[in-house]
Amino acid sequence: MLGASVLILIGCASWFALSPREPVYEGKALSYWLDEINRTGKTDKNEPAMKAARAMGTNSLPFLLSYIEHKESPIKVYLAKMAQKHPSMRSQFLELDPLLAPSLRMVLEIGPEAKPLIPDFLKLLEDKELSWRGETGLWAIGPEANPALEQACRNTNAVVRVKAAVVLARIRAQERIGDVIVGDGWAQGWNMSTISGRRLFDLGSAFTEQVFGALKRNLKHRDPAVRRATAEATKNAGRHAKEITPALVQALSDEDPSVRAAAAESLKGSDPEAAAKAGVK
């Protein structure tokens, strides 16, 4: 029994010795600075963590990716759901992926230098559960991701094509006011966790007029694959349906048959009345 315990201890020590070490800034590891984003609770208090992100730079990318790709175990997900129903069970240890959103925020801070992660984020687009993480990561990298997104618009998976087209539009809708990016529909803030009771950083998105404007512009993109994927992405335009209708009607005359077909389907979904008037059946 004692021998088995010794072997376990040696194994654990070896694992810690051989496992990659997180980069450090001012004596504190990357994971500390990620959780610091959660702890601050206010955007104007984030600068120390952002300074750490810039200092650690590309050395942090493999570790940020591991947090972004991470999937919690089914048992932890189950216990977290129980904690939501029973406040007495609330615990910080049951929090699901508390460093996920902060990791994406650090990718945003690193920006174009995070481009080595582009292939990994594109791969995430294919995962139904994790696709939004890939979308957010590509958006965070910014214009450096545009060529890869344009190529992703050729993907045989329609869902991937649509997501790539939307991220491409979000990036092209970005406007900078000082150091702040606006117009692309992404927002950041802090929410009270129903699992642990602590405030956690979070990222969200919504379609803005600027994003729909970029989608309309992309319906005239030089690459027919981008035009097709963009037309597919406008199928559920919601309250912006009327605004994007003229661009879709124009796309019905596109030189590429796949773009015409996608525009027709989207027009039927977003504005059936306009589709009927245009002769779409």
At residue 71, φ and ψ (nearest 5 deg) are -115, 125
Cα–Cα distance for residue pair 222/231, rounded to 1 Å: 14
Residue 9 reports pLDDT greater than 90: no
Q: Residue range 97-119: average pLDDT?
A: 96
Q: What is the pLDDT of residue 179?
A: 64
Cα–Cα distance for residue pair 230/166, rounded to 1 Å: 7
**Percent of the chain at pLDDT above 70?**
91
Residue 3 reports pLDDT greater than 50: no
Q: What is the pLDDT of residue 15?
A: 37
Q: Residue range 47-53: average pLDDT?
A: 96
pLDDT tens-digit series, residues 80-105: 999 999 888 889 899 999 999 999 99
Residue 267 reports pLDDT greater than 80: yes
Instruction: Determine the residue type at 88.
Output: S
* pTM, full prediction: 0.87
Higher-confidence residue of 115 and 272: namely 115
State the pLDDT confidence band at 19, using cuts at 50, 70 and 90. very low
pLDDT tens-digit series, residues 236-265: 777 777 888 999 999 999 999 999 999 999
- Residue 66 Cα to chain centre, angstroms: 14
Computed over every residue of the chain, the mean pLDDT equals: 89
Q: Report how far apart, in Å, the C-alpha atoms of 259 and of each of 10, 138, 162, 181, 265 are.
A: 61, 24, 13, 31, 10
pLDDT tens-digit series, residues 141-180: 999 999 999 999 999 999 999 999 999 999 999 876 666 6
